[in-house]
Amino acid sequence: MTTPTFDARWREARRIAVLTGAGVSAESGIPTFRGAGGLWRRYRAEELATPEAFARDPRLVWEWYDWRRRVIAECRPNAAHHVLADLEVRVPEFLLITQNVDGLHRRAGSQRVVELHGSLWRVRCPAEGTVTERPEVPLPSLPPRCACGAVLRPDVVWFGEALPTDAVGRAYGAAEGCDLMLVVGTSALVQPAAALPAIAKAHGAYVVEVNLDATPLSHLVDELHRGKAGEILPRLLCALPGP
Ligand code: BJW
């Protein structure tokens, strides 16, 4: 038996998992978190993306989220989102695992998506546990309130909070079962998402990274592509066979 070449690993992949981060939406005009121009250069994460920050000042936290919702509402999915949406119909088993809360993968047509860190477009009532779609921008009043009177929160995962159990289960299942994992535009610093590529690799998957910069994953992946996701992904994925 011969070892498949890199191209063959792509062509023969039947179970593909994709992990995306903020970099996949950068070319749509959405700021990333870390690095030049990143949100955490301008805002302190612990003052905005923690349950403690929300308990201290829900209006401040909501003003930040409302601003981000307004920015994102003006943005469109880019070529990277679109080719990933095309990819899911070309392989028998596919899961797109995103850390992004911007909803752009779904807007590009992706359906097999797990949103590990939730969605900016939903709100959650901490008192009732109910989750509701709230697409309107701007929100009519801040902080928004539930009919029960409780202050609603964004349905996102803040530091120190557990990720949704079903989302984590699906993501780990895909990482353990895929034969190719594509890791796009994440600094791979935030756990538990950052552990998924190593899990895939340990289970025999071929791991491919697409990123502008080096990350802690770069030394373990099988194939590295340095550059913009919106330019690299269309080139990589157009070489795959059709459905
Ligand atoms: C491009 C590009 C282009 C640019 N093309 N590339 C183990 C060790 C240490 C710490 C921990 C640990 N386990 C847990 C922790 C704590 C913590 C953590 O990981 N901290 C580290 C930062 C040290 N994790 C948590 O707290 C998590 N919870 C948890 O583990 O709970 C345990 C628990 C169990 C049971 C009960 C209770 C608790 C939760 C993490 C939640 C993260 N939340 C955020 C905010 C979401 C909401 C919001 O958006 O406001 O999620 S933080 C932020 O970081 C956001 C992102 O999804 C996440 C990841 O960022 P991402 O996507 O990687 O973006 P960047 O900006 O970092 O990187 C962009 C990349 O793109 C760069 O590499 C660029 O080069 C690249 N790029 N343009 C290609 N065009």
Residue 117 alpha carbon, nearest atom of ligand 1: 46
pLDDT cut 90: percent of the chain above it: 86
Instruction: Tell me which DSSP letter residue 152 carries.
Output: P
Instruction: Look at residue 10 in the predicted model and tell me its pLDDT.
Output: 84
Binding site membership of 71 for ligand 1 (Cβ less than 6 Å)? no
The pLDDT value given to residue 6:
62
Q: What is the pLDDT of residue 35?
A: 78
State the distance from the centre of ligand 1 to the C-alpha of 33, rounded, in angstroms. 8
Phi, psi of 241 (to 5 degrees): -65, 160
Report the C-alpha gap between 51 and 57 in whole angstroms. 10
Residues 6+ apart with CB under 8 A from 91: 13, 14, 15, 16
Write the burial class of residue 63 (CB in 10 Å: 0-12 exposed, 13-18 middle, 19+ buried): middle
**Does 241 score more than 90 pLDDT?**
no
CA 29 to chain centre: 15
How far does residue 125's CA lie from ligand 1's centre (Å)? 24
* For residues 129-154, average pLDDT: 96
Q: Is 117 a catalytic residue?
A: yes
Question: Atom 62, ligand 1: which residue's CA is nearest?
Answer: 21
39-48, 92-101, 197-206: segment of lowest average pLDDT = 39-48
Q: Which of 159, 213, 215 most suits a substitution to test ligand 1, by most atoms within 8 Å of the C-beta?
A: 159
- What pLDDT is recorded for position 47? 83
Neighbours of 32 (CB within 10 A): 22
At residue 243, the pLDDT reads: 65
| pLDDT at site 4 | 59
State yes or no: pLDDT of 51 exceeds 80.
yes
Ligand 1, atom 33, residue with closest C-alpha = 162
Closest CA to 171 of 191, 151, 149, 185: 191
How much is the pLDDT for 104? 98
Q: Which of 82, 117, 203, 219 is catalytic?
A: 117
Q: If you average pLDDT over residues 103-124, what whole number do you get?
A: 98
Residue 7: phi and psi, rounded to 5, are: -60, -40
Distance of CA 242 from the midpoint of ligand 1 (Å): 33
pLDDT over threshold 80, residue 2: no
Confidence (pLDDT) at 40? 76
